[in-house]
Amino acid sequence: MPAHNAHRSCNRWLAFRLGHLGDVALSTGVLVRLGRDFGWTFAFATKRPWAGIFTGNPYVEQVIPLDTPVLRTPAFVSWCGRIAATYKDWGLLDLHGSLRSRILSALWRGPVLRSPKMALDRRLFLHTRSEASAKRLRLTSVPQRYFMAVSPDAPPADALLPHIWLSDEERASARQRLDALLGPGSRPVALHPFATHSLKTWPEAHWRSFAALLDQEGIPWLALGRGKALFPDEARDLSNTTSLRESCALLSCCRALVSGDSGPMHLASAVGTPVFALFGPTTREWGFYPAGPHDRVLEKTLPCRPCSLHGLAFCRRDGECLSGISPEIALKALQ
C-alpha cells in the first residue's frame, strides 16, 4: 500500500486536527498504521484539552496544544507562521480541512496532504437523501478518510481502530478505585449519559431506568463524563470527577460502555472496551460508527434520520429516534 510517491522522502509530519474529542481520538489508529507501514513519526497540533490522548503514543514525538486565545484569527495566523518556520523540513498532514488548517497549509514550506471531507456528499445526502451519496459515504469511516490523505486505498475500518496507551500505574490506580467502589475484581458497565448536543443522547429518564434495570439484573455500573450528574446521590456516579486519562483507565477495566454518539465512545474503543452505542440524529453515513469486533449500534429507523451533521437540528418528533429506544430494549440488546 504505497504512500503518495511525491512524499516518500518525508518521514516526519505535523498532523493537524482540532475538532471535538472524538475526531481527535479517531486519528490515533491512523497514526499507528502510518507509523508502522511507512516509518513515519508525528507532531500533533490540537486543542489543549485533547493533548492527553497522545501520551505514551510511540509514533507521536510531541503534542502542540492550542489554547482558545491562539485560535482567534490574528493570533492564529501568527502562530501558523511560527509553526511553519519551526517545522520547515516536515510534511503537513491536514486531518481537518477547515479554514484554519488551510491557512496553515498556505504558509507551509514542505509537502501537504489533506484528508477528504466528502462535504458535498454529506450535504447532498442530508438534504436530498441521495442514494448515490449515501453509498459513497458508507464506503468509508472517518479514520479511513483520514488515511486517504496518504493513499486512496484505505485499510478496513477495523484495521484503523483508535488506540490510547495507558501506563501500568494508570491501570493500577483505576483498578484500585473500582475495587474500593464496587468490590474486588468488578467489571462494571460504564454509562456515559452526555453528548455535546443534547439530541444525541438518551432522555435522562431512560438513563435512570436503565441503571435501575442493571441493578435488578445484578450488573454493576458506574457513570462517567462531563455534565449534569444524573445520579448525584450515588457514589457510582463519577461524573465531573475524572480527567481524560483517568476516564480512559477506568473504561479499560469495564466490560462495556453504553453511550450515545460521543467522544468517550471512541475513548472506550481506544482502550479495547466494547461499545454499545445508541445513535439517533446521526447515522452510519457520517463515518463515526464504532468498528471494534464486539461493538454494537442500536438505532431506530425513521425517515427523518439523519436530521443534521452533528445533532444540532430542531426535532419535530421530540427526539423519537432515541426516546423510542426503551431501556428494556437496550438491556436485552446489551445482554
* pLDDT for residue 254: 98
The DSSP-derived string for 22-65 is: HHHHTHHHHHHHHHHHH--EEEEEEEGGGGGGGTT-TTEEEEEE
- CB-CB contact of 243 with 249 (8 Å): no
pLDDT band for position 4 (cuts 50, 70, 90) = low
Q: What percent of the chain has pLDDT over 70?
A: 97
pLDDT band for position 9 (cuts 50, 70, 90) = confident
Record the cell numbers describing residue 166, joined without a space: 495507558
- CB-CB contact of 263 with 245 (8 Å): no
230, 228, 175, 291 alpha-carbon torsion, rounded to 10°: 90
Angle at 67 between CA 49 and CA 89, to 5 degrees: 100
pLDDT band for position 318 (cuts 50, 70, 90) = confident
What residue spans define the domains of the chain?
5-159, 168-334
pLDDT band for position 281 (cuts 50, 70, 90) = very high
* pLDDT for residue 118: 95
pLDDT at 2 over 80: no
* pLDDT for residue 1: 41
Which of the pair, 283 or 1, is modelled with greater confidence? 283
pLDDT at 7 over 60: no
Record the cell numbers describing residue 262, joined without a space: 460521543
pLDDT band for position 5 (cuts 50, 70, 90) = low
pLDDT at 129 over 50: yes
Average pLDDT over residues 212-230: 96
Task: Report the alpha-carbon distance of residue 46 to residue 48 in Å, rounded.
Answer: 6
pLDDT at 6 over 50: no
Superfamily, domain 5-159: Glycogen Phosphorylase B; (3.40.50.2000)
Reported as type and span, the H/E element at residue 196 is none
Task: Report the alpha-carbon distance of residue 254 to residue 188 in Å, rounded.
Answer: 5
Q: Which of 20-34, 175-189, 256-270, 310-324 has the lowest mean pLDDT?
A: 310-324
pLDDT band for position 8 (cuts 50, 70, 90) = low
The DSSP-derived string for 153-179 is: SPPPGGGS-------HHHHHHHHHHHH
The CATH number of 168-334, from 3.30.43.10, 3.40.50.2000, 3.40.630.30, 3.90.1150.10, is: 3.40.50.2000
Average pLDDT over residues 93-105: 97
Record the cell numbers describing residue 84, joined without a space: 511553519
Average pLDDT over residues 136-143: 98
pLDDT at 150 over 70: yes
